[in-house]
Amino acid sequence: MSCVTIDVLPVHLEFFPQVQKAMEAQCSMGFRRAANIFSLMKTSNPTVVALLKGLTQNLGVVEKDDIRDGLKREVFTALEENGEIPHGMIPDLTQVLVNLSMEDIELVSAGFRQSIVLYLRCLTLESLLRLREMIISGLLLRILSEVIKQFIQSRPRVQLVVRAEDFNMCVSRFYIATGSHEFFCLVFYCLIAN
């Protein structure tokens, strides 16, 4: 298994009908704050460190579920104690952070420009391919939509946009770094959830 780190992949979340830009900016701040808290926990919280180390083992379904449950408890508590994240977002943000972490994917940061932009980093080539599957299957859109629906009460349609050139750049850098000659491309994906 390779341990090469690649560039972050920007994932854009757009809303239809459009919502107030101030609400989008606040939602983006919630994602960013949660990402920062979880990032800190990965090095400073001994329970989280041990749980994440356990993911590197060859585990069965029950053991992975135990780790997932433990991570959920720790992350939920930390987000709640922080006090800066709207309470309604915490359960679903916890779900996002833990699900991504279980796949060796990190929510590195979030920003706001024309839309909310989440920055994801895959820790292995295998995790990049799992992220691709999460995008194609709509799973990533579903879990992110739940966070947004808790924050933005008008319940807009959420569109997840991953530009093909961004994804393909991450893939090519991984292949270059690992010396692999295989290559594939992602066609432009734009998935919509109601």
**Does 56 reside within a domain?**
yes
- Whole-prediction pTM: 0.84
Which pLDDT does position 79 carry in this prediction? 95
**Does 3 reside within a domain?**
no
Which pLDDT does position 3 carry in this prediction? 44
Which pLDDT does position 1 carry in this prediction? 39
Q: Distance between CA 153 and CA 167 in Å, rounded?
A: 31
**Does 126 reside within a domain?**
yes
**Does 131 reside within a domain?**
yes
Which pLDDT does position 120 carry in this prediction? 94
Regions of the chain where pLDDT drops below 50: 1-5, 188, 191-194
Residue 157 φ then ψ, to 5°: -70, 135
**Does 103 reside within a domain?**
yes
**Does 50 reside within a domain?**
yes
CA dihedral 153, 159, 163, 169 (to 10 degrees): 60
Q: Distance between CA 17 and CA 180 in Å, rounded?
A: 43
**Does 4 reside within a domain?**
no
Q: Count of domains in the chain?
A: 1
**Does 67 reside within a domain?**
yes
- Domain that includes residue 34, residue range: 9-193
